[in-house]
Amino acid sequence: MEFDRSGVDALMDITKRPELVFVRGQGSWLEDHTGKRYLDFMQGWAVNSLGHCPPQVVKALSQQAEQLLNPSPAFYNAPSMALATRLTAASVFDRIFFANSGAEANEGAIKLARKWGQLHRGGAYKIITFEHSFHGRTLATMSASGKPGWDTIFAPQVDGFPKARLNDLASVRALVDEQTVAIMLEPVQGEAGVVPATTEFMQGLRKLADEQGLLLIVDEVQTGFGRTGKLFAYEHSGITPDIMTLGKGIGGGVPLAALCAREAVSVFAHGDQGGTYNGNPLMTAAGVAVFDALTAPGFMASVNARATQLSQGLQALSDKWGMKGERGMGLLRALMLDRDDGGAIVEAARDWAPEGLLLNAPRPNLLRFMPALNVSADEIDAMLARLDEVIDKIRAGAVLTAP
């Protein structure tokens, strides 16, 4: 297959992309238009929890597609109730609203918290969020995010998202006032470079929220659905949040997200929330297939075994190359580089011949790893060996061009 430039010019130019088209995928491997294969440790930004085209999800989608695509959100459908039942049974939450993206689930969380504030906290509406956080790309979720520059890019912002510092409880307490209704955070800040909130901080936030009568919202769009070695990341700290959002991995590659809330917080009145595609049977059937795979006996144990292997392998690379260590939870990990060549490593790994390697550098001095949760031990070893070769090549070049 030829690379088609006219197709490129028909798309809005919203990001720099390499001149290749992926045509098929299986498990941890992708294939481009020339037939070149790539070992994929991005997996659509932690979206493909079971790798590319997992048979369970393909089967669920094709069976559901033959049976019923969308009766309209005005009616019940079986897959959405099956998935909601599974989620409430496996978590501390009682009620689920399905959405189509993480940003939309977070919008729902913000609306739910504001509604709760109107009913129970005298109209309080402010939600304390965090510097460097990422909650999505709608106007409200961009305003909630702490990404540098996002406060002005589409000004004016949606009001009411004061920013605290992660793992600094005093910085949160200092922002609480009469108008505060909730605290919202990612248990591991993903886009910021895989920065985990400490257990002590999570527990401190819960205590602060209880003392002040605030809601605690966890954005588990990236950390949920097994990514951190437990089904949900909040479980690591033993706390009970009031609201949780899911996205990415929940659909195993298809657009599905969820807003989960405890009964006392599920205060939407009829008409407050909805959406044409929300909870449609095609996507929720995929979600059921993913959930059942993750909760099958032994699955999470193997995620944790692979996480240990990846963590140790990355630490060994860091030691060998004099880098700054590795961090993360489960199969959401980062290698901290000692210099700003993350972008160069990502490009060289992708362009490697005969097989490429797909990695992500959310920051210039850091590589992020988000393999399929069912990645094999051999695939992790292959990735580590390839990455070592790539670093060797990049850094040899760096020495040669040094003054």
* Interface ranges with ligand PLP (CB under 6 A): 101-103, 106, 134-136, 186, 190, 219, 221-222, 247-248
Q: 10 a known binding residue? A: no
Owner of token pair 């998935």: 83
Q: 32 a known binding residue? A: no
Interacting residues of 228 by C-beta distance below 8 A, sequence separation 6+: 187, 188, 236, 329, 330, 331, 332
Which residue, 247 or 287, has its beta carbon nearer to ligand PLP?
A: 247
- Name the token pair of 55: 């048979």
Q: Rounded to 10 degrees, what is the CA torsion of 108, 161, 228, 372? A: 60
Which residue, 180 or 360, has its beta carbon nearer to ligand PLP?
A: 360
Distance CA 138, CA 116 (A): 21
Distance CA 378, CA 162 (A): 45
Least Å from the CB of residue 257 to ligand PLP: 6
Q: 276 a known binding residue? A: yes
Least Å from the CB of residue 41 to ligand PLP: 16
Q: Measure Cα distances from 292 to 41, 226, 259, 314 in Å.
A: 23, 12, 19, 30
Least Å from the CB of residue 381 to ligand PLP: 27
Q: Measure Cα distances from 336 to 183, 361, 363, 368, 402 in Å.
A: 29, 10, 10, 9, 22
Q: 221 a known binding residue? A: yes
Which residue, 190 or 279, has its beta carbon nearer to ligand PLP?
A: 190
Least Å from the CB of residue 267 to ligand PLP: 23
Q: Measured at the alpha carbon of residue 136, what is the angle toward residues 129 and 226, in degrees to the nearest 5?
A: 90
Least Å from the CB of residue 43 to ligand PLP: 13
Distance CA 80, CA 96 (A): 9
Which residue, 47 or 391, has its beta carbon nearer to ligand PLP?
A: 47
Which residue, 91 or 390, has its beta carbon nearer to ligand PLP?
A: 91
Least Å from the CB of residue 138 to ligand PLP: 8
Which residue, 248 or 306, has its beta carbon nearer to ligand PLP?
A: 248
337 in Cβ contact with 367 (< 8 Å): yes
Which residue, 176 or 258, has its beta carbon nearer to ligand PLP?
A: 258
Which residue, 102 or 196, has its beta carbon nearer to ligand PLP?
A: 102
Q: CA nearest 383: which of 353, 351, 358? A: 358
DSSP bridge partners of 328:
333
Q: 98 a known binding residue? A: no
Helix 78-90 / helix 281-294 crossing angle, nearest 10 deg: 40
Q: What is the DSSP letter of 392?
A: H
Q: CA nearest 223: which of 214, 234, 212? A: 234
Least Å from the CB of residue 194 to ligand PLP: 11
Residue number closest to ligand PLP, CB atom:
102
Q: What is the DSSP letter of 403?
A: -
Least Å from the CB of residue 246 to ligand PLP: 10
| Amino acid identity at 388 | D
Owner of token pair 């070992």: 39
Residues tagged in the binding site annotation: 102-103, 134, 137, 219-222, 276
Residues tagged in the binding site annotation for pyridoxal 5'-phosphate: 102-103, 134, 219-222, 276
Residues tagged in the binding site annotation for N(2)-acetyl-L-ornithine: 137
